[in-house]
Amino acid sequence: MVIAIDGPAGAGKSTVARAVAQRLGFHFLDTGAMYRCVALAATESGLPAAEIARDARIALSGRVLLDGRDVTEAIRTPEVSAAASEVSTDQQVRDALVAQQQRLLSDGNWVAEGRDIATVVVPDAAVKVFLTADPQERARRRAVELDADVDTVLYELKRRDEQDEARQHSPLVRASDAVELDTTRLSSDEVVDHIVALAASAGVAR
């Protein structure tokens, strides 16, 4: 059973998806962390990203482990964000990571978040949510998280949105049957309540 949460950077996916998983007793999968791991390893090693996506051992239980090394913080830098958006345009990288994601999600109850969960990874997900928020608000949230300048974050976020939406393979797009939730003026608790209610009406949760 999968609850799919997609949307652009800074829409609140990670915080909300994690909290929904906790409320329902589901596992949580942050697929963006996988693209970030591949980007970090490719930058460090100079090896082709597709090779890394096939061979690297990525473990996502709480901390993020890349071939046994804790990269939880290292994958959150602006450089890795940009590189992750770049490697995610490579179809071979996507094929390798999507196959791993599908294997994980085929067993048990999950909340999975990313850009293509409802469209490609699990098109028959029980609940599909597309989170959005004004770019200004998304940048403000990211700037607080990263302790960075809002205008710089806004510029990078818009560039990344454009790349994620314009790419040829699995672009960021709302699944036609996903519920769109604009989180600009909602607290994360309100968003979580909303998704839990959707899950309940889909018969996924109490």
Residues that bind ligand DC (CB under 6 A): 9, 31-32, 35-36, 84-85, 88, 114-116, 160, 164
Nearer to ligand DC, 114 or 181 (CB): 114
Beta bridge partners of 71: none
Q: Which residue has the tokens 């909340």?
A: 111
Nearer to ligand DC, 8 or 198 (CB): 8
Nearer to ligand DC, 58 or 84 (CB): 84
CB of 9 to ligand DC, least distance (A): 5
Nearer to ligand DC, 36 or 128 (CB): 36
CB of 95 to ligand DC, least distance (A): 12
What does the alpha-carbon distance between residue 193 and residue 189 come to, in Å, rounded to a whole number? Answer: 6
CB of 118 to ligand DC, least distance (A): 10
Is 3 within 8 Å of 129 (Cβ atoms)?
yes
C-alpha dist (Å) from residue 25 to 9, 18, 78, 88, 149: 25, 10, 32, 30, 36
CB of 203 to ligand DC, least distance (A): 26
Is 138 within 8 Å of 8 (Cβ atoms)?
yes
